[in-house]
Amino acid sequence: MQVPLFNQAGEEIGKTELRDDIFGIKPNTAVMHQAFVRQLANARQGNADTKTRAEVAGGGGKPWRQKGTGRARQGSTRAPQWRHGGVAFGPTPRSYRQDMPKKMRRLALRSALSAKAAEGQIRVVEDLKMDAPKTREMQAILGGLAIESSALILLAEANLTIQKSAANIPDVKTLRAQYLNVRDLLGYDVLVMPLSAIKTIEGYLGT
C-alpha cells in the first residue's frame, strides 16, 4: 500500500510503502472491541471496599430480648438495616484484569491501523525535528498536514522537545510507537507517524 509522504512543512514529497499485512488487512471489529474493553478493564484499580456487619465497630450485644417488647426481633445493632451498620453485598477489592492472547492483541492493532489507513487518517512524515519546545511550531506542523481534529503523534523513541511542544495542544497526544494501543488508536482521529516510527511498528507487528 502506497501513501503520500510529507515533509515537516506539510508538503508532499513523494510516496512511501506501508506493509499490507499491517495497514491493509480487513479490520476484525470483534477483536478490536475485545482489546478495547480489555484495556479499559485492566486500567481499573478495583479497590472499592465496604465493611460488612462483621467488620464495623460496635454492636456485639442483642439490643433487646427476643419476645415480649412488641418490637421486631433484632440480633445486633450493626446489621445492615441499622444506622452505622454494615453494608450488605457491597463492593470488596477485586481484580478486573482480563487476559488476551498475544496474537489477538496484535491482530487488534493491525485492524485498527488498517481502518485508519482505509479512511485516509494516516499522515506519514519524513521526520519530526524541533530545536526547542514550541507549541506554536507544533501547531503549524499539524496545520500543514491538514489536521483539524484530534491527532496521535507516534515517536520511535522518547523526544522531550516534541512531547513538550504538543503537550499544551488540546486533543493532541504523543506516544512512543512501542506503546501503541487500541484505545489511543480509536480515541484520536488522525495518526501522525514519522518513517522511524513505522519501522518500529513493523518490527513487532510484522508477520
Is the sign of the CA dihedral 56, 59, 60, 62 positive or negative? negative
Mark whether 132 and 146 lie in a shared domain. yes
Q: Pick from 31, 66, 95: which residue ends a domain?
A: 95
Mark whether 143 and 186 lie in a shared domain. yes
Phi, psi of 87 (to 5 degrees): -100, 130
- Residue 9 CB neighbours (<10 A): 11
Q: Are 8 and 125 in contact (CB under 8 A)?
A: yes
pLDDT > 90 fraction of the chain, expressed in percent and rounded: 92
Q: Which residue, among 60, 126, 118, 100, has the nearest Cα to 182 in the 3D structure?
A: 100
pTM: 0.84
What residue type is assigned to position 207 of the chain?
T
Confidence tier at 59 by pLDDT (50, 70, 90):
confident
Q: Which residue range is the domain that position 156 belongs to?
A: 2-44+98-205
Mark whether 75 and 150 lie in a shared domain. no
Overall number of domains in the chain? 2
Q: What is the pLDDT of residue 122?
A: 95
Q: Pick from 57, 77, 95: which residue ends a domain?
A: 95
How far is the C-alpha of 106 from the C-alpha of 183, rounded, in Å? 13
Q: Are 156 and 202 in contact (CB under 8 A)?
A: no
Mark whether 72 and 163 lie in a shared domain. no
How far is the C-alpha of 55 from the C-alpha of 52, rounded, in Å? 5
What residue type is assigned to position 195 of the chain?
L
Mark whether 90 and 174 lie in a shared domain. no
Mark whether 70 and 122 lie in a shared domain. no
* Residue 136 grid cell: 506554536
Mark whether 112 and 17 lie in a shared domain. yes
Mark whether 161 and 68 lie in a shared domain. no
Confidence tier at 206 by pLDDT (50, 70, 90):
confident
Mark whether 50 and 40 lie in a shared domain. no
pLDDT 10s digits, 78-107: 999 999 999 999 999 999 999 999 999 999
DSSP tag of 173: E
* Residue 30 grid cell: 470483534
Q: What is the pLDDT of residue 60?
A: 84
Kindly tell me if the per-residue pLDDT of 207 is higher than 70.
no
Half-sphere exposure of 138 (CA within 13 A, CB side): 24
Mark whether 34 and 75 lie in a shared domain. no
Q: Pick from 61, 80, 95: which residue ends a domain?
A: 95
Mark whether 86 and 102 lie in a shared domain. no
- Which residue is associated with the grid cell 488487512? 25
The secondary element (H helix, E strand) that includes residue 140 is helix 135-144
Q: In CATH, what number is assigned to the domain containing residue 161?
A: 3.40.1370.10
Mark whether 159 and 111 lie in a shared domain. yes
Helices (H), the chain: 20-23, 29-42, 102-118, 135-144, 160-167, 182-187, 195-205
Q: Are 77 and 62 in contact (CB under 8 A)?
A: no
If you average pLDDT over residues 167-174, what whole number do you get?
94
